[in-house]
Structure 1
Amino acid sequence: MRPLVPARPPQLRLLPCLLLASFSSVASAQQTEPAPVLPAITVSANKQQQTLESVPASITVIDGESLRDAHIGSVDALEHITPGLSFQPFGQGGVNSPVVRGMSANFFSFSTSTLLLVDGVPTLMAQGFDNNLLAVDRVEVLRGPQGTLYGRNAEAGVINIYSLVPDNTPRSMLSVAAGSRNLRSLSVDLSRPLVTDTLYASIAGEWRQQDGFIDNASTGAKEGGRDTRNLKLALRWTPDTRTDATLRYTRTDQDDGAAWWGAPAAVRGTVNSGTAGWNKSNGSTLSLNLAHELDSGLKLRSITARNEWFDHVMQDTDFRLPDTLHIGRDHHFTTLSQEFRLEGKLGAASWLAGLYADQDDHHLLNEQKLPMALTRSRAALAGNSVALFTDWTVPLAQHWTLVAGARAERDSVRFTPDGGAEKSATWTRLSPKLAVQYQWAPQQQLYASVTDGFRAGGYNVFVPGAGYAAYEPETVRSFELGSKGWLAGNRLRYAAALYLMNVRNMQVQQMPTPGVVYVTNAASARSTGAEFELDYLLGAGWQLQAGLAVNHTRFDTFRDGSNNYDGNHNPFAPDLNGHLSVRYDARANWYAQATLTGTGKVYLDAANRYSRNGFGLINLNGGYRFGQTEVSAYLNNLANHRYDAVGYQNGIVTVYSPPREAGLRLTWRM
């Protein structure tokens, strides 16, 4: 039985009916068959394999098959099945800025508050913060500061994606799909041993195309179409039982239309634009992941990676026939990273120590068209990080365990505007972690932790009028109390966490006009909240999964010029989000699932003038398997609910929400 995955909500009458049917089915089935149990889950949250319940942190885990069944094929869609995770509304493919526990980051700070790791390769900014989730083994979402093990961009959390590993078991899958707005897609996933027990290879690829939904009165065309191609290659070598090396290459190419933007005063879903908008971004990664067990029993791991992203965009911003206002970007981002880790045991204690280093080399070109001028700003942005870290898990006494760690990190940034003098800054930070876990019953744990997080400062690279003003590093101290475990004979898995995060020098984005974005520091802020998750096998093929996050992130003190934002909401941080999903797996090889997902209201600016209203969605999906073939279907946003972000970029732009979408997929496994 796979862990349940969500989808989207409004007509709540469906779910009570499903739940009532499920409980009545359980009552009769329990008399004739043994109760099913949930499988144990192994995670690598602390960079070592552990059971989910033994990690003193708030973690959501979704396996790859559940993602496929729910037709979830992008990182931003994870917000519908992960409490405490959301994304800023932006409307452009390949660019996502995550929000975890109310903490977020500006697109033009070229950093994120939540780290994305795909097979150990870090993505450190919103540009390229995506993955099509093809050939994925599992996704782990860690909430709360993870700076001790993961560094400066993990101050709010980590999204860790693990791909399927090629081995001796052949894997072959071919899928074709069609759906709303002329959706067409083709995907393939192949894995084979080249030399049994020694050399293995895999290839996965996807082509996906879909028309837009925004009417352009000027051209008669539909704006906002998406055309994406993805490729994943892996070559694995295991010369002996102690050595495991995997070389991976991935590539993404986009040939999209304009962003899902329009004017707030216009009829919804319409523009009258004479400026062609497009997104021709692309990216690639190359990595080598090497693991070796030494004769002493120590385990050595090395991850070497190169991550590259080209952000190539043109976007109208007044949505009128003459080319009066537009923005363009032609950015090239390159990050090289290297991590060495050594892990072992000292008596009953497990330990890990490591060295991490990265180097950024970014070349930026920003274009802005105003009624009387066209300006282009060029700049070079470089930097590097070096860190030493360690993590220890020490049994203290019966039922008690101590987890402690620390990271010493040095971050440097160098900014050179075209024709100007170089600006540079360096920050050094020690990020400690301390957690105590108490196993008060055989399958029940309590934990308490205190953890520090850190995000480096930088320069406002496209604000020459302010002298490319600097902004300070952001620091977080988090206190967390949680409980997790099993009940009902391992048919129910639960997790709950309460947290308090004190933030100093919070980095806040301001958008006075399209193309002009700057970062400034709020003196202080506070984030408090709670998270709950439940996974319950009801019996007779029924499964229920639920998650809820309550968050309260507010500025304590924040002055920006003459503006006073004390007590305001942090932009893009919802006070509430969650999901409730019910799934039925029939013995006749078919399944059906309904998911209600909802998110509270978010504000789009520090003044809290503009907002996106809260919303609830119902998503449905199901499938039938016969032999090696599967037919599956989905219906997202059943009630065609609208949840536009009205007033983005200081009231000038509306980011449209996508309409209802249905699709059908045919899959062959060989």
Structure 2
Amino acid sequence: MSLSSLSLLLLASASPLATPAPVRDDPPAVAPGIEAAADDPTDDPDAQSSQDVVVTARRREERVQEVPIALSVISGEDLAKSGAFNVSRLQQAQPALQFYSSNPRNSAINIRGLGAPFGLTNDGIEQGVGFYVDGVYIGRIGASTFDFVDVERVEVLRGPQGTLYGKNTTAGAINITTRAPSFTPESRVEVSLGNYDFLQTKASVSAPLTDTVAFRLSTSGTTREGTIQNIRTGVDQHRLRNLGVRGQVLWNAASNLDLTLSGDFNRQNPLCCVQYYVRTGATQRPLARQYAALAAAFGYTPPSTDPFDRVTDLDARSNSRQEIGGASLVANWDVGAATITSVTAWRYWDWLPANDRDFIGLPITTVSQNPSQQKQFSQELRIASNGSNKLDYTLGAFFFHQTINTQGSQVQGSAASRYLLSGADALNPNVLNGLTSTNTISFDNSSFAVFGKLNWEVASGFHIQPGLRVNYDKKSGFYESVVSLHNSQFNFDATADNVAALLAARPAGAARTTFQNQINTLAPQRYSPEFSDWNVSGDLTLSYDFSPDIHAYATYARSFKSGGINLSGLPLNSTSTGVDLSTQTVKPEKVNHFELGLKTQFLDRRLTFNAAGFWTEVSDYQATVNNNAINVIRGYLANAGKVRARGFEFDTSFRPSQRANVYLNGAYTDATYREFVNAPCPPELSGGTATAPGGVTDPAGTPGGRSPAFCDISGQVLPGISKWSLSWGGEVNVPVGSSVGQVYVGYDGNYRSRFSSNPSQSAYTWIDGYSLSNFRLGYREGDFNIFGWVRNAFDQHYFELLSTQSGSTGLIVGQPADPRTYGLTISSSF
């Protein structure tokens, strides 16, 4: 592994909540979302039942079963043994969580099917799932794709969380808490080896520096060779090269005041995330311009038509290098009746990609990349009561400022003319060969909010919990695309200012048609969108404690996801010389959410059963569209009329004795467009002669047919969402020798039913349901643990996503998930 030198920055470590979570030396108890609880080698069968999992989901320490939120918790130990070392792998244990990524920048985290539109990233929008690390809000999902380092626990909160979490949490939040510095010296080491030359090392050390100052230093490194062979370059794709460091200093400045200064640095340099040939499907494009005929014209065949042969011949460079880091200062001041918390943070994200966006080994698009740099500053100030018999409160203010600068480029190759054009220009490679779009994109985003939440016990066991948030967002951006072509036949630089003059200089004939084809393929444009708005979010939860172990709640929430601006290019207007400025901005999403929940424990808290039912309606849902415009490379945003997600979830775990535990979690999600009448059409209806709205069209898959201007997909399912998702597993152990050590065997499984992988439902882009099985066998004694593991044990063939080649050629490409992997992990604490 070759990695450049590190610079250690100081980043956020203390908990975001009213008081930091304590360092826990005892194993956590059984709780939903935990892999049937942590392992407990004690000989006392009742010891486990007396413990409680403590979380900070509501910005104060509470027992997880008493929090009236659909909430799952995964401990750091369970993350390690399940192999979930990043958010992508976390979804295997969380049925209601969906994570999609064609590369780190183009990633989305959804909960219950909601959060971010399915498709390529647009700088001008934000996610609907809040992502927090030690109280610091992470402004881009791409910056959340780091490896977990020294994590104490991960809390997944489902449903709107806007009155306590600082930014656009209309679908939920992921709250990660790392291990805090300890005044008791300790160190941890973990090493994992596996096939594909997998090597992962984790280490941490913590100790006091003085009676009032302690530190923790943690690091993680991951390398793995690729799982997909590129026969053209000889370099395997989907390799891993990750490195992370975190440092924390805790100062107990007074008996009632502590400050934590923290910093982290993460560098990832994988060769990912390639998509390649899966299948073909008929479109409305003329038959001679669909994939089979185009490939034959070049004498091209893919190296395999079975994507699970895991070979490709992509001819453009692929990379997903990124750096993530930042610093924070967290202060907690106990003033007696309340604790005042301040979280000050600065973070950055530097993204340097390379992609092959034609997905095959022909020089169609030789460069397609959008290097991007984000910087963010946030300040949160809260006051939270320290516990009252009848009334608790949290009040706060939050400020967030973010800038993003992106330098996009796209270059067409010698095969582009034949692939993208018709007529005489299709036979002249010089028409598009070397055609280059250079994009300058900037984004400035400021947000301010005040919020509050009450918990009033109006009668014994009966709580009324209202919350309110007032938020202001202001966004401004700039987008400019300069198009140039310099080859043996054509020589021009087209901007938004001179494109009309260049077109006028070609008043008629072939020269005008050719230039029109060039600027329709990559359009010069410039615009400066702006958006600002106030909104008020609120929620009301009623909960009742039937007993210490049986709790029920009902919640209504009215929430908003901030409006956005389009920063990936706009569709051309009717003259094809300008852009449709009416598509510059998108309206905020407005969310109405209803939920009923039940949390129960039985048999001395050895059996846990939690369930929740929800109904969520989203008006002005932010969706990614493209209107079949080849000049809009990354798609743009539009508001769908209404989306509805409804369903139910359950989390169960059972520990019959200290020698065994099992769990079963599930989610049923019915998420559909209730109103989306002007949606992009699926590939089988695209590529034909355009017709006016309401005009005559031809059946899907008619070569040379007529395509609708847009499609009504009301009633169709949202992309990326399985109706059924399950996770299950357990572990059994037997004592060895003097009963100090244990031999154990564990299993984790999960299932997802089929889901659509296209914004508009297509017969070509359904991903079949699949089930994964992971096994482990090991020995542990005290703080020492060694185990062998097999993940995707039955080598299940499945796709993370499917998409289409641009230009309506009918080629369907996909990104296969990891094959079977196996290895050995050794860990110890000192």
- Following superposition, the deviation at residue 4 of structure 1 comes to 7.2
Q: Secondary structure at the match of 1:53?
A: helix
Q: Does the C-alpha gap of structure 1 residues 301 and 566 become closer, same or farther in structure 2, counting only changes over 3 Å?
A: same
Query: Match for residue 411 of structure 2?
Result: 369
Q: Which moved more, 1:123-132 or 1:305-314?
A: 123-132
Q: 1: distance between equivalents of 2:251 and 2:773?
A: 44
Paired residue secondary structure (1:563): coil
Cα contact 1:147–1:431 (8 A) shared by 2: yes
Task: State whether structure 2 residue 611 is matched by structure 1 residue 470.
Answer: no
Are 2:400 and 1:358 equivalent residues in the alignment? yes
Measure, in 1, the Cα distance between the counterparts of 2:760 and 2:107: 23
Moved more, 283-292 or 583-592: 583-592
Q: For the residues of structure 2 that align with 1:221 and 1:616, how far apart are their CA atoms?
A: 30
Aligned counterparts of 2:818 and 2:75: Cα–Cα separation in 1: 26
> Residue in 2 aligned with 1:247?
261
Structure 1 position 607 matched with structure 2 position 622? no
Q: Does 1:435 align with 2:520?
A: no
Aligned counterparts of 1:624 and 1:368: Cα–Cα separation in 2: 53
Contact 1:145/1:453 (CA < 8 Å) preserved in 2? yes
Whichever residue aligns with residue 393 of structure 2, its letter is: W
Separation of aligned partners in 2, 1:346 and 1:441? 19
Q: 1:182 to 1:309 in 2, by over 3 A?
A: same
Q: Is the 8 A contact 2:32 2:653 kept in 1?
A: no
CA contact (8 A) 1:611 1:645 kept: no
Residues 646-657 of structure 1 correspond to what in structure 2 (within 5 A)?
647-649=802-804, 652-657=812-817
Match of 1:516 in 2: 634
C-alpha separation in 2, matches of 1:241 and 1:35 = 32
Specify the code of the residue in structure 1 equivalent to 2:127: T
Residue in structure 1 matched with residue 487 of structure 2 by the alignment:
none
- For residues 164 and 35 of structure 1, do their structure 2 counterparts lie closer, same or farther at Cα, with a shift above 3 Å needed? closer
Mapped partners of 2:791, 2:105: distance in 1: 21
Equivalent position to 1:231, from 222, 234, 245: 245
Aligned residue among 613, 616, 637 for 1:501: 616
What is residue 605 of structure 2 aligned with on the other side?
Answer: 490
1:331 equivalenced with 2:379 (yes/no)? no
TM-fit CA distance, 1:422: 3.0
Q: How many residues align structurally?
A: 644
Pair 1:646–1:123, CA change in 2 (3 A): closer
Structure with the larger RCO, 1 or 2 (CA within 8 Å, 6+ apart):
1
Larger radius of gyration between Structure 1 and Structure 2: 2
Structure 1 position 351, deviation (Å): 0.7
Deviation at 1:625? 2.3
Residue in 2 that maps onto 1:661? 821
C-alpha distance in 2 between matches for 1:540 and 1:631:
19
Q: Distance in 2 between matches of 1:185 and 1:258?
A: 18
| One-letter amino acid of the counterpart of residue 813, structure 2 | V
Q: Contact (CA 8 Å) 1:481, 1:499: kept in 2 or not? A: yes
Instruction: Give the secondary-structure state (helix, strand or coil) at the position aligned to 2:184.
Output: coil
Residue 138 of structure 1, aligned match among 153, 170, 183: 153
- Counterpart Cα distance in 2 of 1:293 and 1:225: 48
The answer on whether the counterparts of 1:5 and 1:70 sit within 8 Å (CA) in structure 2 is no
1:267 corresponding residue in structure 2:
306
Which of 130, 141, 163 is residue 148 of structure 1 equivalent to?
163
- Residue 637 of structure 1 is matched in structure 2 by 792
Inter-partner Cα distance in structure 1 for 2:800 and 2:446: 35
Hey, what does 1:70 align to over in structure 2?
Answer: 82
The structural deviation recorded for 1:316 is: 0.7
Matched-pair contact (CA < 8 Å) for 1:263–1:318:
no
SS at match of 1:77: helix
Q: What SS is found at the alignment partner of 1:224?
A: coil
Query: Aligned AA for 2:553?
Result: Y
Contact 2:442 2:478 in 1 (8 A): yes
Does the 8 Å CA contact 1:218/1:273 hold for their aligned counterparts?
yes
Residues 560 and 588, structure 2, Cα contact 8 Å, conserved in 1: yes
**Paired AA for residue 536 in structure 1:** F
Compared with structure 1, are the counterparts of its residues 627 and 299 closer, same or farther at alpha carbon in structure 2 (3 Å cutoff)?
closer
Residues in 2 aligned to 1:5 and 1:97: alpha-carbon distance in whole angstroms: 27
Q: Which residue type is aligned with residue 148 of structure 1?
A: T
- Deviations, residues 54-104 of structure 1 (Å, cap 9, x unaligned): 21110001111121222221112111112311112x243576311111103
Describe the SS at the equivalent of 2:144: coil
Q: CA deviation at 1:148?
A: 1.2
3-state secondary structure, aligned to 1:316? coil
* Residue 401 of structure 1 pairs with residue 401 of structure 2: no
Q: What is aligned with 1:533?
A: 651
Is the Cα contact below 8 Å between 2:104 and 2:142 reproduced in 1? no
Matched, 1:178 2:178: no
1:102 aligns with 2:113: yes
Instruction: Say what the alpha-carbon RMSD is for the aligned residues.
Output: 2.3
Give the 3-state SS of the residue equivalent to 1:133 in structure 2: coil
Matched, 1:577 2:618: no
- Residues 28 and 52, structure 2, Cα contact 8 Å, conserved in 1: no
Q: Name which of 385, 392, 400 aligns with 2:447.
A: 385
Structure 2 unpaired stretches of 5+: 1-26, 34-42, 280-304, 417-431, 481-495, 497-525, 572-579, 679-708, 737-741, 806-810
Output the CA distance in 2 between the equivalents of 1:119 and 1:580.
Answer: 29
Calculate the TM-score normalised by the size of structure 2.
0.74
Report the Cα offset of residue 151 of structure 1: 3.8
* Bigger proportion of residues as strand: 1
Mapped partners of 1:186, 1:515: distance in 2 = 39
Match of 1:551 in 2: 669
1:491–1:537 CA contact under 8 A, matched in 2: yes
Residues 118-146 of structure 1, C-alpha deviations (whole Å, 9 max, x = no match)? 00111132211224222111111000000
- What amino acid maps onto 2:597 in structure 1? G
The alpha-carbon deviation at position 39 of structure 1 amounts to 2.7
The corresponding residue for 2:353 is 313
Aligned partners of 2:410 and 2:438 also within 8 Å: yes
1:573–1:602 CA contact under 8 A, matched in 2: yes
What's the offset of the Cα at 1:298? 2.2
Instruction: Report the 3-state secondary structure (helix = DSSP H, G, I; strand = E; otherwise coil) of the residue aligned with 1:37.
Output: helix
- One-letter amino acid of the counterpart of residue 436, structure 1: L
State how far apart, in whole Å, the 2-side matches of 1:406 and 1:195 are: 42
The alignment partner of 1:68 has SS state of helix
SS of equivalent residue, structure 1 residue 281: strand
Q: What is the rounded CA distance, in whole Å, between the counterparts of 2:254 and 2:395 in structure 1?
A: 25
Distance 1:442 1:258, change over 3 A: closer
- Cα distance in 2 for residues equivalent to 1:35 and 1:668: 23
**Counterpart residue number, 1:15:** none
Percent identical residues: 21
Asked if 2 retains the 8 angstrom alpha-carbon contact of 1:6 and 1:70, the reply is: no
CA 1:649 to 1:44, structure 2 compared with 1: closer, same or farther past 3 Å? farther
The structure-2 alpha-carbon separation of the partners of 1:226 and 1:487, relative to structure 1 and needing over 3 Å to count, comes to same
1:571 alignment partner AA: P
1:14 corresponds to: none
Length-normalised TM-score, structure 1: 0.92
Do the aligned partners of residues 400 and 515 (structure 1) sit closer, same or farther apart at CA in structure 2, a change above 3 Å counting?
Answer: same
What residue in structure 2 maps to residue 625 of structure 1? Answer: 780
The change in CA–CA distance for 1:35 and 1:343 in structure 2 (over 3 A counts) is closer
Q: Provide Cα deviations, 1:485-522, integer angstroms capped at 9, x if missing partner.
A: 21112111221101111110111123656942222211
In the TM superposition, residue 337 of structure 1 has moved relative to its aligned partner by 0.5
Q: Deviation at 1:346?
A: 6.7
Unaligned runs of 5+ in 1: 8-29
- Contact 1:631/1:666 (8 A) holds in 2: yes
Residues 646 and 543 from structure 1, CA distance in 2 versus in 1: closer, same or farther, beyond 3 angstroms? closer
Q: Answer whether contact 2:221 2:243 (CA < 8 A) is retained.
A: yes
Contact 2:274 2:318 in 1 (8 A): no
- Structure 1: distance between partners of 2:204 and 2:791: 25
How far apart are 1:646 and its partner, in Å? 5.8
2:476 alignment counterpart:
414
Partner of 2:127: 112
CA contact (8 A) 2:29 2:53 kept: no
